[in-house]
Amino acid sequence: MVFSSLTFIVLFLPIFLFAYFCVPQRYVKMRNFVLLVFSLLFYAAGEPVWVLLLIFSAASDCLIGLFMERFQGRWQSKVLLVLSMCCNLGVLVVFKYTEFLLGLVGINIDFAPVLPIGISFYTFQTMSYSIDLYRGRIKAQRNPIAFLTYVAMFPPLIAGPIIRYADIQHMLAARATSISKVSEGVSRFAMGLGKKVIFANHAGAVSSELLAYGGSSTLAVWVGIIMFMFQIYFDFSGYSDMAIGLGKIIGFDFLENFNYPYTAKTITDFWRRWHISLGTFFREYLYLPIGGNRKRAVFNIMFVWMITGLWHGASLNFVAWGMYFGVILLIEKYLLRKVLAKTPAFFSHVYCLGVVLFGWLLFYFTDAGQFAHAVRNFLGLGGLLYDYRAVDLLLANLWILPIFAMFSTRAPIRILENVKVYLPVAEPLLNFAVLGVGVMLMIGQTFSPFIYFRF
Residues classed as catalytic: 312
Output 342 or 453, whichever has higher pLDDT: 342
Q: How confident is the model at residue 452 (pLDDT cuts 50, 70, 90)?
A: low
> Across residues 289-308, what is the average pLDDT?
92
Output 350 or 313, whichever has higher pLDDT: 350
d(CA 407, CA 266): 20
d(CA 330, CA 333): 5
d(CA 86, CA 76): 15
| CA 306 to chain CA centroid, nearest Å | 18
Q: Are 150 and 141 in contact (CB under 8 A)?
A: yes
d(CA 86, CA 124): 12
Provide the pLDDT for residue 448: 59
Phi (first) and psi of residue 442, to 5 degrees = -65, -30
Q: Are 123 and 151 in contact (CB under 8 A)?
A: no
Closest CA to 121 of 80, 152, 162: 162
C-alpha R_g of the chain: 23
Q: What is the largest CA-CA distance in the chain?
A: 69
Closest CA to 231 of 4, 455, 454, 450: 450
Provide the pLDDT for residue 447: 56
Q: Inform me whether the pLDDT recorded for 219 exceeds 70.
A: yes
User: What is the torsional sign of CA 95, 96, 102, 108?
Assistant: positive
Provide the pLDDT for residue 140: 92
Provide the pLDDT for residue 446: 62
| CA 9 to chain CA centroid, nearest Å | 21
Q: Are 450 and 235 in contact (CB under 8 A)?
A: yes
| CA 146 to chain CA centroid, nearest Å | 24
Please write the tens of the pLDDT for every residue from 358-407: 999 999 998 889 999 999 999 998 878 989 999 999 999 999 999 999 99
DSSP 78-142: HHHHHHHHHHHHHHHIIIIIHHHHHHHTT------SPPPTTHHHHHHHHHHHHHHHHTTSSPPP-
Provide the pLDDT for residue 455: 57
Q: Are 73 and 134 in contact (CB under 8 A)?
A: no
> Across residues 251-267, what is the average pLDDT?
95
Please write the tens of the pLDDT for every residue from 153-209: 999 988 779 999 999 999 999 998 889 999 999 999 999 999 999 999 999 999 999
Provide the pLDDT for residue 111: 57
Provide the pLDDT for residue 110: 65
Q: How confident is the model at residue 449 (pLDDT cuts 50, 70, 90)?
A: low
CB count within 10 Å of CB 296 equals 13
DSSP 183-247: HHHHHHHHHHHIIIIIIIHHHHHHHHHHTGGG-SSHHHHHHHHHHHHHHHHHHHHHHHHHHHHHH
Phi (first) and psi of residue 294, to 5 degrees = -75, -40
Looking at the chain, how many residues does it have? 455
As to burial, measured by CB atoms within 10 angstroms (0-12 exposed, 13-18 middle, 19+ buried), residue 107 is exposed
Closest CA to 226 of 358, 322, 379: 358
Question: Cis peptide before 161, with omega less than 30 degrees from 0?
Answer: yes
| Residues 6 or more apart whose Cβ sits within 8 Å of residue 197 | 4, 437, 438, 441, 442, 445, 448
Q: How confident is the model at residue 94 (pLDDT cuts 50, 70, 90)?
A: confident
